[in-house]
Structure 1
């Protein structure tokens, strides 16, 4: 695969400590296949989104070297374009969950090599009000966990910090009242977490969703009604051969094209690991909206 003009975005503070070395490695792989390669470092929050919105249509492909937060930021710029470029995600963060959903190697240099020999696929993008997300939108336990992450620990231990934070949170997460409108049908209840997924991984763990989750035009929605490590274990360890049906009554699972979420009080929402939204929120799916390079085989 070759391109005439490409943009490679990397964030100053994103991901791994050897970022500069990784940048050199992926540039060395990609450069021979690109007539003009523009490399831009972003320094401030929101800079990648502005750059992608302003200049994205100049390029045949935009490579994003970073983690899920960097991807989230850039995709929010690219998704707004009338003619968005192809997108290549080069894993450079802590978990790289969206890259895993695309079947991309967790090693950035290997991922770049795969993209040169790979294919381009249309991928769904989730919408939450006027924002988009690639991996998930969640409230309750998931956003509590994000708030509790120790950034110093995250830098030192990587994904381990997510699990430590989860175990610290799961024993004290308070239930909340919710009202949902699922494809036009209304339901109410109590939960400790609502998780609407576009991708198939959380904290490097595979979720029990179908392999075509990124291309089915629907969100996979989990409602966890009460806390308990066995509940988390069922979600993170189950590998279904067919459509997943939870064994535990404290877990509800369904697919939805649209989802309106209201809670008894406004709650912070986690979108792809970023905390800046809150309920109420209206979710939908932009089916096949963006085209991503992938290392996954046919």
Structure 2
């Protein structure tokens, strides 16, 4: 047996909408686990509670769900004395951190990648005492998350994020902030501050160099009002070389820690979950947890894309 004990935590929607994929994951992994425990969440916060109370009892933690479920479970195990190895089985709308880990977007195929054994020490972030894997956002990015229509999200999946972005862009208002980082202070106005550990946002690949989750550094993007349309071009595949600490409409900073204060308290989006407010104390924790990864290069991306389009439901 590869693992003595493993726990698979899955969002309650998996029981109805993802039953087939849950079965695929169990079928792929059961032969390599001496004892496989399935635990279903019933309400928000359950994933964190379950993983905090029981995570250290297992060699492997499997999380089946979207970015919200991953966020909960990671906060449950991050401070464990002996945290388990972690495998994400992407079952949500965007699955952004799973994309950073190069995992297939189908649960059964992701479970097969776990068997390949590519497990690596991985950076996570911390904001106001909470852990994040992918990103922290203030301003436009938080407003976009808050403006998502939940019914629309159920019907059309990740397209709902793009529609919410379009609605939010028309209403974006600048805010005053002060940002202290490793090498100085920025005192200005912005419509958005993005702090990234991962490399995907709303399924779009972020244009930062490297994998991000192995370098002990956070990538910070400050977008001022005049640079709003340009910023979205950059986020969707542009080059940040000319914007590094430029002080212009877009400013790009790399730092291991930062402190952000705003003129008025603003909501903080942490991996798509909004429950914190500024001021924000943010840092990276290098090589904090061990995650399973997909291959360095992925073949058959068209097949993955078609499979994603065929997905009619999501788990958060």
TM-score by length of 1: 0.94
Q: Secondary structure at the match of 2:21?
A: helix
Q: Name whichever of 159-168 and 1-10 sits farther off.
A: 1-10
Aligned counterpart, 2:5: 5
Aligned counterpart, 1:213: 212
Please state if 1:51 is matched with 2:50.
yes
Q: CA deviation at 1:212?
A: 2.7
| Cα RMSD after superposing both structures | 1.8
Q: Structure 2 matches for 1:70-219, cutoff 5 A?
A: 70-183=69-182, 185-219=184-218
Measured in 2, the distance between the counterparts of 1:28 and 1:127 equals 35
Measured in 2, the distance between the counterparts of 1:30 and 1:147 equals 37
CA contact (8 A) 1:208 1:244 kept: no
Measured in 2, the distance between the counterparts of 1:244 and 1:35 equals 49
TM-score by length of 2: 0.89
Measured in 2, the distance between the counterparts of 1:82 and 1:31 equals 26
Q: Name whichever of 246-255 and 108-117 sits farther off.
A: 246-255
Q: Secondary structure at the match of 2:39?
A: strand
Measured in 1, the distance between the counterparts of 2:210 and 2:25 equals 28
Q: CA deviation at 1:184?
A: 5.8
Aligned counterpart, 2:271: 272
Measured in 1, the distance between the counterparts of 2:39 and 2:199 equals 29
Measured in 1, the distance between the counterparts of 2:296 and 2:230 equals 34
Aligned counterpart, 2:230: 230
Measured in 1, the distance between the counterparts of 2:221 and 2:183 equals 18
CA contact (8 A) 1:118 1:295 kept: no
Measured in 2, the distance between the counterparts of 1:88 and 1:12 equals 18
CA contact (8 A) 1:140 1:267 kept: yes
- CA deviation profile, 1:92-113 (whole Å, cap 9, x unmatched): 0000000000111111111110
Q: Secondary structure at the match of 2:236?
A: helix
Unaligned 5+ runs, structure 2: 298-316
Flag the 1:164–1:5 CA change in 2: closer, same or farther, 3 A: same
Please state if 1:68 is matched with 2:61.
no
Q: Secondary structure at the match of 2:63?
A: strand
- CA deviation profile, 1:186-209 (whole Å, cap 9, x unmatched): 220000000000000001010011
Flag the 1:119–1:193 CA change in 2: closer, same or farther, 3 A: same
Q: Name whichever of 132-141 and 181-190 sits farther off.
A: 181-190
Flag the 1:41–1:118 CA change in 2: closer, same or farther, 3 A: same
